[in-house]
Structure 1
Amino acid sequence: MSMFCFQCQEAAKGTGCTVKGVCGKNDDVANLQDTLMYVLKGISWFNEKLRAKGLNPGKVDKFVFDGLFSTITNANFDKTSFEKRINEALALRNELHEKCKENNIELPENLPGFVTWSAFSVEEFEEKAKEVGVLSTENEDVRSLRELVIYGVKGLAAYAEHAWNLGHKKDEIYKFMQRALVATTEDLDVDELVDLVLETGKFGVDVMALLDEANTSSYGNPEATQVNIGVRNNPAILISGHDMKDMEELLKQTEGTGVDVYTHSEMLPAHYYPAFKKYDHLVGNYGGSWWKQKSEFESFNGPILFTTNCIVPPLKNAGYKDKIYTTGASGLNGATHIPERKNGRMKDFSDIIEHAKECDPPQEIETGTITGGFAHAQVFALADKIVDAVKTGAIKKFFVMAGCDGRMKSREYYTEFAEKLPTDTVILTAGCAKYRYNKLPLGDIGGIPRVIDAGQCNDSYSLAVIALKLKKVFELNDINELPIAYNIAWYEQKAVIVLLALLSLGVKNIHLGPTLPAFLSPNVANVLVEQFGIAGINEPEGDIKMFMEESAA
């Protein structure tokens, strides 16, 4: 075993990747990520003590959530990037240690290893991972709950960074993230860890609300929008990932250059924001889900900008290999990395723009439009129509099918499920799971689309807000009394925080697929089943029958 990672749905054999990640992550990168996590816990340990005295440096919060974000599945495959991050983390941790001593903050005589360990070479960093990785927690149930918290915190980090980039910050969220990291090093019992899991979910709601405010105050409330999926005859840049600030700055810098911009995968919802509709060169969405990029990037012809995770490392002979650019927490060996903003200035996208001018226009792979933009404000505008449809029986049930997509053949389940749903049901979705059914001709119910797409995975917050609004409208005591079923697909850690957020809101009987997480021990899985009704999936027809019978009951 040269590594161990089981944080995503595609963990090898349903248990964990031990030689190379199914995602494409090499063992050296996996080990460096484990070591970075170890040092981030040390930074958080010192910063907690400084924060209690009002002395915590502001730079620490961003460093921690940026480091966490870089370890999310499919975000960063660049070994050099992690070597640099660990060196910076060790320096920052030592700086915080000195600050504690300078301010006479009492520290225990015997400091824990994660606040004292130091090394100077990448070989030492990799070797340390063997001692401090996931399997260093021997008790299976404690390990499971600790990792559930850590993966939830990684999801928090992703959303916190997007909000931060738009100038929206919340100290309570950063404080919790660091406290939770430290708590995973402590001797907590199972009940205390379960409480920490639910608290992580509570902060998941908070961070998604923060990001929703950041996005809507910056770019307006998403509107119902038909998005073009064809192409024009101009050179172009394909932008993927989730960061709307990067999207804004790329559009500003490409305006008037003759270079078009297309969204890919999770960046599709950019088209729904009013502020981006003024850019005529934001042409449409190219292709589908993240895992199809190996074929879709070849036919796109132009350069690709990754703003966050969802990277699939290209094959050695891939024609687009030298056209990949990364920025933010993302990284890939051989890709050109666009540095962070400095002194309040925009990122400099001039290199990728000049590169695009040298490329052929995209090859058309489909035509037509897809519809989205149904975040909570847009759905509230349709509230009377929706309520009437429920009261008259035109809509029998809503199915929340948010979450992630992935490569596995088993994910065809979600396409079949959508196709076979009764025509008096509506799908509520967010995240790239929608690509399994958002191009199907499912029609509408009295003008209400049968696929209501709220946006990115972080926009799952809108689905929660919609559910709470309906609970109020129908004067119900419990959110679980609504005619809503939850059949969610997961892949990585942002889906984990969405799940924990829903649990913290009291949502029960969530079905999760295509498989339950490998990091859930049998005992922890039983706790989730008993307390929250978490269940897996079976086959579409039987599951639909089960859901509809629950509705009738």
Structure 2
Amino acid sequence: MFCYQCEQTTRLPTGDGCASAKGLCGKDATTADLQDLLVHAVKGIAQQARRARALGVPDNDAGAFMLHALFTTLTNVNFNPTRFVTLLHEAAAVRDRVAARCEAALVADSDTAQTAPAPTGPAVDWTPAADLTGLLAQAATVPVNADLARVGADVVGLRALILYGMKGVAAYANHAAVLGYTRDAVFAGVEETMAYLASDPTDMAELLDRALSVGRLNLQVMEMLDAANTGRFGTPHPTAVRVTPVAGKAILVSGHDLGDLEALLKQTAGTDINVYTHGEMLPAHGYPALKAYPHLVGNFGGAWQDQQTDFATFPGPILMTSNCIIEPGPRYRQRIFTTGPVGWPGVRHLADHAFAPLIAAAHALPGFKADDLKTAGPEQTVTVGFGGDAVLGVAGAVVEAVKAGDIRHFFLIGGCDGAAAGRNYYSDFATGAPDDTVVLTLGCAKYRFNRHEFGSIGGIPRLLDIGQCNDSYSAIRIASALAEAFGCGVNDLPLSLVVSWFEQKAAAVLLTLLALGIRNIRLGPTLPAFLTPTLLAVLVERFGIQPITTAPDDIAAALTCAA
């Protein structure tokens, strides 16, 4: 195996990347290699699907399969090699079905053959081996760094940036698709980009432009996902969320998928089961359609990397709906369930919202006992729900506070949390921001500081929780609206972006910000291993990307530049 797609990547003097029997995420070599082969298979589907679209017979079912397949290869999503064997054979069948669709279209109109020639190359010609040994032999020919000796680390790194951005695009688009929101332009963009990667491109300028096109595609996807979430669940409103438990039977829901949460709330309505959110599910409490369920009682625990402690102490079953699962500990392995793209060997998977086994487990387990909560202390809350509409609803007051000098600066501290050393930078940054500044946050990095008392400025809370990383579109809307109100560009606002990256969704968002021309983003805690010194130099020169230093120094630098 060779993998360097996330911030956990092993850092070695001989070359960055996890290349042993198991990656730092817990993914074994077999699973990692099968994921590489699945990406290869998706490239072949994309080649055929792009041709089908050119022939006037687009196949969005193939597009939906590609979204799901790529999603399963993200960090901390699916660790089950058996599932990847199944997906590989499904991928070949999908590709061949689309190819047959193309041939049928040519029979109906032979004149179109010149405008849509048959694709060629190893991905479109690949046939899955009959057994695991054969599949692993095939996978050995298509790792992410397969062409390193021929094209060099810079080209491989840019290809990886595009691929990892596309994995993030696929994840966000899949979240929207399961809520019934899709767009032809998104499917076409996925087909085009994955087919481009199948061509083994080597031109550096072209690759960088293509990476920015991934960012533009992701902007469409994030807007679609925002429409899906608000269309289905309503516009988020500021909401105080209880973070201390209540007595009663309990289910804990982690991940990102709001549709899964809604289905579970419907199935547990009127029972004696309370539902709690965990990790990136915290912002669910701001949506009217979800908080209307009185048994959605609060949030339990912290960010994804704390789950082995959080889940061990939770007295009920756990449902993982998307990334970010890590190896289940022995104290809860028998009471954790997966759904959607998630998988772990030996963990029960529930498809199609068939949550009866999960609910039965909740009835069988003790839940929170009233006597156990007597020493828990007073009820504690955090406030969520400051999405685009909520913040823009008070934009006039915000603008006036800036003009009056009451608000000096905005810091958007967004992205993923993680276990690696150095992430205390983000808590130090947020709590160290001066009292005349406002902190906007999204993603699970907020758990490092969202219980801190920030206070308010003229009735405007100094901490505004925009939501999940899935809600990045709201942050873009807010920045764009403020720029319009002040009659300037986003880069001219008293706004600094401090991004905590971990996995491929963050790569997609970063590419979107760069495609929008946003400069001087501070990125950490470590830079992606696939960004070679040459690539980093390009990003620094063209976009002003800044590796983080220390929180006090970076705060001072941001405020000095804005003065």
**With structure 2 as the length reference, what TM-score do the two structures score?**
0.94
- Does the CA-based 8 Å contact 1:238-1:302 persist in structure 2? yes
In the TM superposition, residue 43 of structure 1 has moved relative to its aligned partner by 0.6
- Does the CA-based 8 Å contact 1:155-1:497 persist in structure 2? yes
- Does the CA-based 8 Å contact 2:234-2:287 persist in structure 1? yes
Partner of 2:110: none
- Distance in 1 between residues matched to 2:57 and 2:406, nearest whole Å: 58
1:76 paired to 2:74: no
- Does the CA-based 8 Å contact 1:290-1:310 persist in structure 2? yes
What letter is aligned with 2:74?
A: I
- Does the CA-based 8 Å contact 1:429-1:460 persist in structure 2? no
- CA deviation map 1:464-504 (0-9, x unaligned): 1101000110111x210000001110000011111111111
- Does the CA-based 8 Å contact 1:402-1:433 persist in structure 2? yes
Q: How does 1:108-257 map to 2 (within 5 A)?
A: 111-118=120-127, 119-138=129-148, 139-186=152-199, 187-257=201-271
- Does the CA-based 8 Å contact 1:301-1:320 persist in structure 2? no
- CA deviation map 1:211-261 (0-9, x unaligned): 111111111110011100011111111001111111111100010121110
- CA deviation map 1:126-151 (0-9, x unaligned): 12121101111222111111111111
In the TM superposition, residue 65 of structure 1 has moved relative to its aligned partner by 0.3
In the TM superposition, residue 83 of structure 1 has moved relative to its aligned partner by 0.8
Matched residue of 1:13: which SS?
coil
- Does the CA-based 8 Å contact 1:237-1:302 persist in structure 2? yes
Q: Give every structure 1 segment of 4 or more consecutive aligned residues whose post-TM-superposition deviation is greater than 4 Å.
A: 105-110, 363-367
Partner of 2:466: 454
Matched residue of 1:454: which SS?
strand
What letter is aligned with 1:354?
A: A
- Does the CA-based 8 Å contact 2:121-2:198 persist in structure 1? no
In the TM superposition, residue 56 of structure 1 has moved relative to its aligned partner by 2.7
Q: How does 1:263-302 map to 2 (within 5 A)?
A: 263-302=277-316
- Distance in 1 between residues matched to 2:5 and 2:299, nearest whole Å: 29
Match of 1:481 among 492, 514, 537: 492
In the TM superposition, residue 97 of structure 1 has moved relative to its aligned partner by 2.7
1:496 paired to 2:499: no
Q: How does 1:427-438 map to 2 (within 5 A)?
A: 427-438=439-450
Match of 2:348 among 333, 336, 343: 336
Partner of 1:389: 401
In the TM superposition, residue 6 of structure 1 has moved relative to its aligned partner by 0.3
1:360 paired to 2:366: yes
Matched residue of 1:515: which SS?
coil
Q: Which runs of 5+ in 2 are unaligned?
A: 107-112
- Does the CA-based 8 Å contact 1:45-1:182 persist in structure 2? yes
What letter is aligned with 1:189?
A: D
In the TM superposition, residue 109 of structure 1 has moved relative to its aligned partner by 8.2
- Does the CA-based 8 Å contact 1:232-1:361 persist in structure 2? no
1:35 paired to 2:37: yes
In the TM superposition, residue 94 of structure 1 has moved relative to its aligned partner by 2.2
- CA deviation map 1:6-61 (0-9, x unaligned): 00011011721111111111111000000000011001111111111122333101
In the TM superposition, residue 188 of structure 1 has moved relative to its aligned partner by 4.3
What letter is aligned with 2:401?
A: A
In the TM superposition, residue 327 of structure 1 has moved relative to its aligned partner by 0.8
- Does the CA-based 8 Å contact 2:410-2:440 persist in structure 1? yes
- Bigger shift: 356-365 or 429-438? 356-365
- Distance in 1 between residues matched to 2:363 and 2:332, nearest whole Å: 15
- Distance in 1 between residues matched to 2:501 and 2:273, nearest whole Å: 35
In the TM superposition, residue 163 of structure 1 has moved relative to its aligned partner by 1.0
- Distance in 2 between residues matched to 1:278 and 1:462, nearest whole Å: 22
Percent identical among aligned pairs is: 44
Q: Which runs of 5+ in 1 are unaligned?
A: 341-346
- Distance in 1 between residues matched to 2:337 and 2:323, nearest whole Å: 12
- Does the CA-based 8 Å contact 1:219-1:273 persist in structure 2? yes
- Distance in 2 between residues matched to 1:287 and 1:444, nearest whole Å: 25
Q: 1:547 to 1:253 in 2, by over 3 A?
A: same
What letter is aligned with 1:279?
A: Y
What letter is aligned with 1:76?
A: N
- CA deviation map 1:178-204 (0-9, x unaligned): 211111132341111111111111111
- Distance in 2 between residues matched to 1:278 and 1:374, nearest whole Å: 18
- Bigger shift: 150-159 or 441-450? 441-450
Q: 1:131 to 1:368 in 2, by over 3 A?
A: same
Matched residue of 2:31: which SS?
helix
What letter is aligned with 1:142?
A: V
Partner of 2:10: 12
- Does the CA-based 8 Å contact 2:253-2:275 persist in structure 1? yes
Matched residue of 2:6: which SS?
coil
1:44 paired to 2:46: yes
- Does the CA-based 8 Å contact 1:202-1:501 persist in structure 2? yes
Match of 1:464 among 471, 476, 480: 476
Matched residue of 1:136: which SS?
coil
- Distance in 1 between residues matched to 2:411 and 2:351, nearest whole Å: 41
- CA deviation map 1:273-292 (0-9, x unaligned): 01112211001000110000
Matched residue of 1:85: which SS?
helix
- Distance in 2 between residues matched to 1:158 and 1:314, nearest whole Å: 23
- Distance in 1 between residues matched to 2:517 and 2:101, nearest whole Å: 42
In the TM superposition, residue 154 of structure 1 has moved relative to its aligned partner by 0.8
- Distance in 2 between residues matched to 1:113 and 1:403, nearest whole Å: 36
Partner of 1:319: 331
What letter is aligned with 1:522?
A: P
In the TM superposition, residue 361 of structure 1 has moved relative to its aligned partner by 1.2
- Does the CA-based 8 Å contact 1:238-1:263 persist in structure 2? yes
Match of 1:350 among 346, 356, 360: 356
- CA deviation map 1:283-304 (0-9, x unaligned): 1000110000111101112111
- Distance in 2 between residues matched to 1:94 and 1:218, nearest whole Å: 35
- CA deviation map 1:347-405 (0-9, x unaligned): 22111001110011147678400011101100011112211111111111000101000
Count of matched residue pairs: 541
- Distance in 2 between residues matched to 1:430 and 1:109, nearest whole Å: 44
- Distance in 2 between residues matched to 1:457 and 1:108, nearest whole Å: 40
- Distance in 1 between residues matched to 2:119 and 2:177, nearest whole Å: 36
Partner of 1:411: 423
- Distance in 2 between residues matched to 1:58 and 1:502, nearest whole Å: 28
- Does the CA-based 8 Å contact 1:35-1:129 persist in structure 2? yes
1:93 paired to 2:95: yes
1:507 paired to 2:521: no
Matched residue of 2:383: which SS?
strand
- Does the CA-based 8 Å contact 2:47-2:119 persist in structure 1? no
Partner of 2:109: none
| RMSD across aligned positions (CA) | 1.5
Matched residue of 2:141: which SS?
helix
Q: 1:111 to 1:381 in 2, by over 3 A?
A: closer
Partner of 1:343: none
Matched residue of 1:227: which SS?
strand
Partner of 1:420: 432
Partner of 1:306: 320
Match of 1:65 among 40, 64, 67: 67
